[in-house]
């Protein structure tokens, strides 16, 4: 059927075959990224602008590297220092940038839905790099690629997503993706952090880590997102670590070959024991970062093909 998207706003808009297309192309970019010379020309001549209205280390660096390796002109807008501070609206900023003819706009914003709104106002491809508690599609895709490479498949797996699900766009995008690819997802955490309505996504909810991790293939830990909490979601970090922090004892309930994932940034000793995070036999956290660059290259490559095709069609119509 082919990859037909104009933007990458959320996993909710992707068909399973489109997810597979992105991952297959990303596999090729993993090989390229392991060579000495890491250049391809899929984005040559195109302009990519990164607009991050929230702090980011790995996601922004990953998108920047992905664009550069594919030959795009990449610009990072320092949004903290920009006109936003002077009261300009998100849409005004987007319109200004639009006048500079970007081809790809990568946007992270603290409000759910902001990236979607922006995509309606510009005439280039927009990639959501995380919007509030809503979606973080490239994170779910890089997680999927990591799982597929480690487990040899991306279906019929038991995956436990643990911790602060309520505030996590990573959890939401992963839940949707893993469901679309026919995996069984469990959400594990205290009721304050795993609201019952998440069952709507077809996930099973567990309050107890030892039960929740029993015989799973993948253990995905989430950061406790303090900046999005406005009250007492947990008694104390110590108590939280005791009940929900991933350590060797809790991990022993998962399958012996279960992999451990974390999107980063990690709070060692809060949601995960540092030794587990660094255990190269169990943890694939570094692979996730590596897959991130490849997945972003693949997503931007596929979107750029559609941008170019649409422009050719419009030119023909004129
Ligand atoms: C995540 C995010 O920003 O949503 N991090 C990331 O993109 N690597 C998860 C988090 O902040 O905990």
Instruction: Please check the confidence at residue 21 and state whether its pLDDT lies above 90.
Output: yes
Ligand 1 contact, 183 CB (< 6 A): no
Among 88-92, 153-157, 169-173, 204-208, name the one with the lowest average pLDDT. Answer: 88-92
Which pLDDT tens digit goes with each residue over 112-147? 999 999 999 999 999 999 999 999 999 999 999 999
CA distance readout (Å), 186 to 111, 202, 218, 221, 281: 26, 9, 10, 12, 23
How far is it, in rounded angstroms, from Cα 133 to Cα 110? 8
- The per-residue pLDDT for 77 is 87
Q: What is the pTM of this model?
A: 0.96
**Alpha carbon of 170 to ligand 1 centroid (Å):** 7
Longest dimension (CA), the chain: 66
Q: DSSP letter at 131?
A: E
Ligand 1 contact, 264 CB (< 6 A): yes
Bond before 265 cis per omega within 30 degrees: yes
Instruction: Please check the confidence at residue 247 and state whether its pLDDT lies above 60.
Output: yes
Sequence-ordered list of residues with C-beta below 8 angstroms from that of 190, at least 6 positions apart, any chain:
207, 233, 234, 243, 244
**Alpha carbon of 269 to ligand 1 centroid (Å):** 18
Ligand 1 contact, 48 CB (< 6 A): no
- The per-residue pLDDT for 311 is 82
Which pLDDT tens digit goes with each residue over 64-117? 999 999 999 999 987 766 666 666 788 888 888 899 999 999 999 999 999 999
Beta bridge partners of 205: 187
- Higher-pLDDT residue of 315, 10: 10
- The structure tokens listed for 144 are 């999927």
């Amino acid at each position: 059927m082919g990859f037909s998207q104009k933007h990458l706003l959320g996993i909710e808009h992707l068909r399973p075959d489109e997810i597979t297309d992105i991952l297959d192309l990303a596999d090729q970019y993993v090989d390229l990224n392991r060579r000495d010379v890491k250049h391809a020309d899929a984005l040559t001549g195109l302009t990519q602008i990164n607009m991050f209205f929230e702090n980011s280390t790995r996601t922004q660096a990953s998108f920047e590297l992905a664009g550069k390796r594919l030959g795009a002109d990449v610009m990072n807008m320092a949004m903290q220092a920009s006109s936003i501070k002077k009261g300009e609206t998100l849409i005004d900023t987007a319109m200004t940038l639009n006048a500079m003819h970007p081809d790809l706009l990568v946007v992270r914003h603290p409000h759910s839905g902001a990236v979607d709104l922006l995509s309606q106002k510009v005439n280039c491809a927009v990639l959501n790099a995380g919007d509030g508690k809503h979606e973080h599609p490239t994170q779910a895709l890089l997680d999927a690629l990591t799982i597929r490479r480690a487990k040899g498949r991306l279906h019929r797996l038991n995956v436990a997503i643990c911790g602060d699900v309520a505030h996590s766009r990573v959890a939401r995008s992963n839940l949707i993706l893993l469901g679309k690819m026919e995996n069984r997802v469990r959400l594990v955490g205290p009721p304050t952090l795993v609201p019952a309505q998440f069952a709507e996504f077809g996930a099973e909810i567990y309050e107890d880590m030892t039960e929740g991790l029993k015989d799973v293939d993948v253990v995905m830990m989430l950061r406790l997102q303090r900046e999005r909490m406005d009250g007492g979601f947990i008694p104390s970090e110590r108590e939280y670590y005791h009940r929900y922090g991933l350590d060797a004892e809790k991990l022993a309930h998962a399958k012996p070959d279960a992999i451990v994932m974390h999107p980063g940034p990690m709070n060692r000793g809060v949601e995960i024991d540092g030794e587990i995070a660094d255990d190269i036999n169990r943890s694939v956290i570094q692979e996730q970062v590596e897959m991130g660059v490849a997945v972003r290259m693949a997503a931007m490559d596929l979107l750029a093909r559609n941008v170019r095709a649409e422009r050719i069609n419009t030119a023909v119509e004129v």
